[in-house]
Amino acid sequence: MATFDVFNGDADGVISLVQLRRACPRPEAKLVTGRKRDINLLDRVDVQKGDHVTVLDISMRSNMDDLNRILDAGANVFYADHHNAGDQPQHDNLHAVIDTSPEICTALLVDDCLSGAYRAWAVTATFGDNFPKIARAKAAGFDLPVEQLERLGMLVNYNGYGADVSDLHFHPADLYKALAKFDTPMEFLAGNKTVINKLNNGYESDLATAQNAKILDESTKGLVIELDDAAASRRISGVYGNQLAQEYPNRAHAVLTRNGDSYVVSVRAPLSNRKGADDLCLQFETGGGRSAAAGINILPEGDVDRFIDAFIGAF
């Protein structure tokens, strides 16, 4: 009988599994994960009757065909997530904890299942998934070093970004193994300086690169910047976009990261009016996303001026 632990490579996915496996160890489990945007993970899971599959923080809708294949093969599935799930299959072997309300992340669903047994980890993941208010509320009364947990959550989240796992400082499975040795993030921070120092140094260095980015357009509506074709840019672009949004809540932001002769585009609507990012990106062939945060996978060089015009028009 095989066990598979399938989880998103961001802070929410990694730390959801840390909580679960501190409570219920499965050292034999095969770890299936990837960079943050790599969400069709169930297609890598080949099961037999009686196998156990745990799935954390990846959309059920995006993995539906493989989920049905795994259930039909006779495996047992525990599925916890907060993304759009589609129509959940009704199956005796499926135990799903899905909540798509905007105030929750997977680590909090797991925290609930474990009655708060690993609250400090849950708080760390909640910060990492960009829910600082909820993270603080969940930390209240537990005497936790909230700022340290916020920083750690941000760093684990940052580690998930890249065009390929080779861009990342740590493969998310390795980062999981490093974190999961500790009952609390405080013990991890005191006990494994190598990992935390590498994340801290990588982040600071990437951030310095981003802060020197070329400005393509700056107006009352917002800021459009260009990052070089480099692993540092691919790691920092998402986190940097969030940071700019927090710093200038009335401005929209677009980060264009060069990729050969085109760009990968990440757009954040102003925090004060979280609308329009999806409508803007959908004007381009490979665009998509949500109203507050959207992107374009391939923006040809020749379309940059059109993008800037559309950006100014959108906000």
Q: Compare residues 12 and 66 and give the one whose CB is closer to Mn ion.
A: 12
Reduce the secondary structure of the chain to three states and give it as a string.
CCEEEEECCCHHHHHHHHHHHHHCCCCCCEEECCCCCCCCCHHHCCCCCCCEEEEECCCCHHHHHHHHHHHHCCCEEEEEECCCCCCCCCCCCEEEEECCCCCCCHHHHHHHHCCCCCHHHHHHHHHHCCCHHHHHHHHCCCCCCHHHHHHHHHHHHHHCCCCCHHHCCCCHHHHHHHHCCCCCHHHHHHHCHHHHHHHHHHHHHHHHHHHCCEEEEECCCEEEEEECCCHHHHHHHHHHHHHHHHHCCCCEEEEEEEECCEEEEEEECCCCCCCCHHHHHCCCCCEEECCCEEEEEEEEHHHHHHHHHHHHHHC
Shortest distance (Å) from residue 131 CB to Mn ion = 9
Q: Compare residues 106 and 233 and give the one whose CB is closer to Mn ion.
A: 106
Shortest distance (Å) from residue 302 CB to Mn ion = 36
Q: Compare residues 106 and 257 and give the one whose CB is closer to Mn ion.
A: 106
Q: Which residues bind Mn ion (CB under 5 A)?
A: 12, 57, 105-106, 129
Give the residue at shortest CB distance from Mn ion.
12
Shortest distance (Å) from residue 129 CB to Mn ion = 5
Q: Tell me the β-bridge partners of 224.
A: 217, 254
Q: Compare residues 62 and 283 and give the one whose CB is closer to Mn ion.
A: 62
Q: Compare residues 82 and 251 and give the one whose CB is closer to Mn ion.
A: 82
Shortest distance (Å) from residue 108 CB to Mn ion = 10
Q: Compare residues 160 and 222 and give the one whose CB is closer to Mn ion.
A: 160
Shortest distance (Å) from residue 310 CB to Mn ion = 29
Shortest distance (Å) from residue 243 CB to Mn ion = 19
For residue 124 the two structure tokens come to 């760390």
Shortest distance (Å) from residue 179 CB to Mn ion = 16
Write phi, then psi, for 30 (nearest 5 degrees). -85, 125
Shortest distance (Å) from residue 84 CB to Mn ion = 12
- The residue type found at 181 is K
With contact defined as beta carbons under 8 Å apart, do 287 and 296 qualify?
Answer: yes
